[in-house]
Amino acid sequence: MRRARHFTYQLLAFAAVFVLLSMSTMDSSRQKLETSSAFEIGDKLPIQANTAFKEGEVLTYRLHYGLLNAGMAVLEVKPDLIHVNGRNVYHIVGSGYSTGTTDWFFKVRDRYETYLDKDALLPWLFVRRVDEGGYKFKQDYVFNHYTKKVDIGNNQKYDVPSGVQDMVSAFYAGRNLKFSTAKVGEIISMPCFVDKEVWNLKIRYVGKEIIETDLGKFRCLKFNPIVQKGRVFKEEEDLTVWISDDQNHIPMRAQANVLVGSIKMDITDTHNLANATSKVN
Encode pLDDT of 9-31 as tens digits. Answer: 333 333 332 222 222 233 445 56
What mean pLDDT is predicted for residues 33-56?
Answer: 78
pLDDT score recorded for residue 45: 86
With a cut of 50, say whether residue 2 has pLDDT above it.
Answer: no
Which DSSP helix (H) or strand (E) runs through 261? strand 261-271
Collapsing DSSP states into helix, strand and coil, what is residue 39? Answer: coil
With a cut of 90, say whether residue 270 has pLDDT above it.
Answer: yes
Q: What is the mean pLDDT of the chain?
A: 80
Give one DSSP letter per residue of 233-248, joined into a string.
BSSTT-EEEEEESSSS
DSSP code at position 37: S
Of residues 204 and 90, more confidence is placed in 90
pLDDT score recorded for residue 7: 36
Dist. CA 167–CA 165, nearest whole Å: 7
Q: Where are the domains of the chain?
A: 2-271
Q: Are 264 and 252 in contact (CB under 8 A)?
A: no
What mean pLDDT is predicted for residues 127-138?
Answer: 82
pLDDT score recorded for residue 99: 67
What mean pLDDT is predicted for residues 247-272?
Answer: 85
pLDDT score recorded for residue 235: 54
Q: Are 120 and 144 in contact (CB under 8 A)?
A: no
Dist. CA 226–CA 256, nearest whole Å: 12
With a cut of 50, say whether residue 74 has pLDDT above it.
Answer: yes
Residues 6 or more apart from 18 whose CB is under 8 A from it?
9, 96, 108, 110, 112, 130, 132
Collapsing DSSP states into helix, strand and coil, what is residue 36? Answer: coil
pLDDT score recorded for residue 42: 57
pLDDT score recorded for residue 228: 53
pLDDT score recorded for residue 97: 75
**What residues form DSSP beta bridges with 193?**
198
With a cut of 60, say whether residue 142 has pLDDT above it.
Answer: yes
pLDDT score recorded for residue 195: 86
Q: Are 220 and 252 in contact (CB under 8 A)?
A: yes
Tens digits of residue pLDDT in 215-243? 999 999 999 887 655 445 555 566 888 99
C-alpha dist (Å) from residue 32 to 157, 163, 245, 252: 15, 21, 38, 34
Of residues 40 and 164, more confidence is placed in 164
pLDDT score recorded for residue 259: 54
Maximum mean pLDDT: which of 28-32, 40-44, 185-189, 230-234 = 185-189
pLDDT score recorded for residue 33: 66
Q: What is the pTM of this model?
A: 0.84
Percent of the chain with pLDDT strictly greater than 90: 47
Q: Are 265 and 271 in contact (CB under 8 A)?
A: no
Q: How confident is the model at residue 67 (pLDDT cuts 50, 70, 90)?
A: low
Give the closest residue to 18 by CA, choosing from 105, 99, 98.
Answer: 98
